[in-house]
Structure 1
Amino acid sequence: MWQGIFSGFLWASDTVLMNTVFMNDINLAILPLIMAGIHDLISVFVITLIMAVSKNIHHVIRDIQSKGAKFIGMAALLGGPIGLSAYILAIYFLGPFLVCVITSLYPAIGSVLANLFLGERRKVYQWIALGVSIGAVILLGITYDSAIQNIWLGLVAAIMCAVAWGSEAVICSWTLGKYDLQDTSALWIRQSSSTVVSAMIVGGLILGGLSIGTVGDLILDKVNWLVVAATCGALSYMFYYKSISNIGASRAMAVNSSYSGFAILINMLFWGVVPSYQEIILGILIVGGGIVSAYDYKK
């Protein structure tokens, strides 16, 4: 359980720092895939260093050759190039607080997908809780009046991210249960696959006319913040995958969604941004509904 809580705190830190990276910078906001790729590349180095120090690097060499590695790679496409890119884009449009709250729906979405594809049955109260979460998201989009770039584009990106992350967790949970993979090895495969795919797409954009100088300027101008954010993200993922391995996807997602609450605290400490009572109430409904819909208390 504690791994999931640490994961939530670190991911909230990552989110606030990523917002710092491109605050009021439209150039970075329109290139979220580049940001996601750089973020995951840095996290690969961090994870590799940790595994080398802990002398677990040999597990990666073994596990990367297993049949389960291709399924982790599939999850990487959802979590990285799709999910993380949408997340970064949503941060630009909405800011870190709203993004954390809305994407905390992903445990509920993961439960729906687990029901459909893994046969995990959900109870009536869990479906009701899912409906409450979705309704609160809609109300948040209708009533939110703070200074944001675009509420509806941000909502689309955030919901896309939640669907991708929920799918990733289900695939990873199934893979870790079916194949003899170390959770740290699975994470290394996940981050490396995501980095490679992002690099291929960015390479295609460069060949299609995207200025290499522009990409280089983005990296150099924001590299310090990116390194700190990606380190928090890497550590968050390590705790998250450990949590999935220890207590299963539904429980891990439920505890990890605490990042939306941590983000409010961290954002207040960093920028002095205090959400309104209405935002707090809707945020509690979204987070609470997501947790209840994902967590089976009788197990």
Structure 2
Amino acid sequence: MQRINIKGTTIGLAAGLTWAIDTILIGWVLASTTFMEFSEIAMAAPLLSTFLHDTFSAIWMMILMGVRGELKETFSKLWTRSGRFVVLAALLGGPVGMTFYVLSVDSIGASFTASISSIFPAVGAFFAFLLLKDRLGLKNWMGLLISITATILLSYSGDLISGSTVSIGLIFILFCIFGWGMESVIIAYGMKDDEVSPFQALLIRQTTSAIVFGALIIPILLDHSYTVQVASSNTFWFIGLIALAGTLSYVFYYQAIKLIGPVRSMALNISYVAFAIFLDVLFFGGEFSLKNFIIALFIMGGAVLTVMEDKKAPVVKEGVTAA
């Protein structure tokens, strides 16, 4: 007999849905006149948008935690063992993962990078097993591989890559995969003893990412003159509104990690690819493609298989399965 943690699965799918909305809207921003002016530097638009998105997200979380009366308490958790693990996860998922993703896109192209990076949940599953004893059954692995394979098929356009930048580009994407795969595993470890709540973890995560991007990544790889240009446009405030959807997605994602563990949460989170296809056609005037629709169904089906548990199996609780 199979069972599904209804609450955790629903919250995980909500994370995917809200991230799909965030992704579609960020796509509009990157195609705007403001960011197209930076086209001579391929890395500028995605790095700047990530920096501003995480900065606004941190601000939204500060407001929320202030209303909840937990702002001061949250920052005091930075000095705890759990807080330090959350900071490490933030560095891996934000500055490390995203920066190396963009560097890889610059070296080997967006299609190839997106395809390879799609395997990060499998990497996360491996480390979750090693560090958290979060085991997947055969059906779970089948579901995860179905979702990843379908995402790769959707991402890869068939463009060939060549040139001396291929090797370094593949190295970049390996760092990205490691960063993204480890983020949820380390977050789960940081939250396992209840010293840091999902809300507190998210505030620490977004604040850490924004500070590192603003103090190191942008000054080293770009220049804050680009930030000033964006800040003086209407696009700046649009990113702030979009960050609300992104923040909500992370809130759901971190709660799902707490409830059903990092691997199943990652599998549900990549459902954003399928949701983005559906939303684009239904609400944003996107062209219907039977191929993309079928692939989206495989992604969703794989996600459902991943979260199914045998009734005799140990119950996933607080992000860690019983050994």
| Partner residue, 1:233 | 246
SS in 1 for 2:192: helix
| Partner residue, 1:46 | 60
Q: How many aligned positions are there?
A: 286
TM-score w.r.t. structure 2 length? 0.73
| Partner residue, 2:318 | none
- Corresponding letter in the other structure for 1:233: G
| Partner residue, 1:252 | 265
Structure number having the greater helix percentage:
1
The CA RMSD measured in Å over matched residues stands at 3.6
Q: Write the mapping of 1:134-153 to structure 2, written as runs, cut at 5 A.
A: 134-140=148-154
**Counterparts of 1:39 and 1:185, CA distance in 2:** 18
**Counterparts of 2:22 and 2:102, CA distance in 1:** 11
Match of 2:255 among 242, 253, 256: 242
| Partner residue, 1:83 | 97
User: Post-superposition shift, 1:42?
Assistant: 0.6
Per-residue Cα deviation, 1:109-145 (whole angstroms, up to 9, x for no partner): 4222212333333323333444444544554456669
Contact 1:243 1:252 in 2 (8 A): yes
Worse overlay, 107-116 or 289-298: 289-298
The change in CA–CA distance for 1:52 and 1:265 in structure 2 (over 3 A counts) is same
**Counterparts of 2:130 and 2:228, CA distance in 1:** 43
Unaligned ranges ≥5, structure 1 = 146-151
Per-residue Cα deviation, 1:42-98 (whole angstroms, up to 9, x for no partner): 111100101111222243143222111111111001221233456778999769xx9
**Counterparts of 1:261 and 1:247, CA distance in 2:** 21
Worse overlay, 7-16 or 161-170: 161-170
Match of 1:213 among 219, 225, 244: 225
**Counterparts of 1:200 and 1:13, CA distance in 2:** 28
TM-score w.r.t. structure 1 length? 0.78
- Corresponding letter in the other structure for 2:269: N
- Corresponding letter in the other structure for 2:293: I
User: Post-superposition shift, 1:231?
Assistant: 1.5
| Partner residue, 1:198 | 213
The change in CA–CA distance for 1:102 and 1:112 in structure 2 (over 3 A counts) is same
User: Post-superposition shift, 1:276?
Assistant: 1.8
Per-residue Cα deviation, 1:117-174 (whole angstroms, up to 9, x for no partner): 33333323333444444544554456669xxxxxx9xx97888756533311111111
Contact 1:267 1:273 in 2 (8 A): yes
Unaligned ranges ≥5, structure 2 = 1-6, 160-165, 316-323
User: Post-superposition shift, 1:271?
Assistant: 3.4
* % same residue: 31
With a CA cutoff of 8 Å and minimum separation of 6, indicate the structure with the bigger relative contact order.
Answer: 1
- Corresponding letter in the other structure for 1:23: A
Contact 1:260 1:287 in 2 (8 A): no
